[in-house]
């Protein structure tokens, strides 16, 4: 009883620490306190970033700074905040994909940790790692999947064929939802 709870708490800390580590690596140093405050709550981090970007500059700074006033109240350039927000959204979307495949919190976190330790830290990276090296056709054997090769090299158990197929379907569905074809003149464009 108590040992299992302790192990689950350790895994939770490990998961949160890994998320924080990934975000810290890519973030401007001025954003590190924001990341540490938000811990590993990605939705809270994204909300805080949006609030920072939306907040009006203080009037005294705006009057004296002129055109650059918008960035004057921010801890770093706005582009850095946007990049961090996009990174957090990628990690959150990857967590959503994983949640669809592994409903148990413990399994989900373990899978997420394994993927991140293998360099899979976004839905696009996961789709790329699940794709066959040639032609986009899934290999006939799951052990030939590039992701399984990465997992095996890192000392983790390989994914089963049905898990791979489920992940690919979920990721392709998400990509298709984001695409839109519009007409610009006489040529269709993919947006």
For residues 38 and 44, is the Cβ–Cβ distance under 8 A?
Answer: yes
The pLDDT value recorded for residue 29 is: 92
Please list the rounded mean pLDDT of every run of 10 residues in the chain (191 residues): 57 75 88 81 86 73 42 82 90 89 84 87 89 56 75 85 88 78 65 58
CB 80 within 8 A of CB 27: yes
Q: Residue 183: which H helix or E strand, with range?
A: strand 181-184
Residue 80: the pLDDT is 92
d(CA 88, CA 94): 10
d(CA 167, CA 101): 7
pTM for the complete prediction? 0.72
What per-residue confidence (pLDDT) applies to 40? 59
Residue 69's pLDDT is what?
Answer: 46
Q: Which residues contact 68 (CB under 8 A, 6 or more apart)?
A: none
């Amino acid at each position: 009883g108590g040992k299992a709870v302790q192990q689950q708490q350790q895994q939770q800390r490990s998961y949160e620490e890994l998320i924080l580590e990934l975000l810290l690596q890519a973030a401007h140093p001025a954003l590190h306190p924001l990341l540490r405050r938000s811990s590993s709550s990605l939705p809270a981090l994204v909300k805080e970033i949006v609030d920072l970007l939306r907040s009006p500059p203080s009037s005294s700074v705006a009057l004296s700074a002129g055109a650059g006033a918008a960035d004057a109240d921010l801890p770093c350039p706005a582009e850095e905040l946007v990049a961090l927000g996009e990174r957090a959204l990628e990690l959150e979307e990857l967590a959503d994909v994983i949640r669809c495949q592994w409903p148990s919190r413990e399994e989900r976190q373990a899978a997420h940790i394994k993927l991140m330790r293998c360099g899979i830290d976004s839905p696009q990276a996961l789709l790329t790692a699940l794709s066959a090296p040639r032609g986009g056709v899934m290999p006939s054997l799951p052990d030939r999947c590039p992701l399984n090769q990465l997992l095996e090299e890192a000392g983790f158990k390989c994914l089963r064929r049905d898990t791979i197929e489920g992940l690919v379907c979920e990721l392709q569905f998400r990509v298709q939802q984001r695409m839109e074809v519009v007409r610009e003149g006489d040529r269709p464009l993919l947006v």
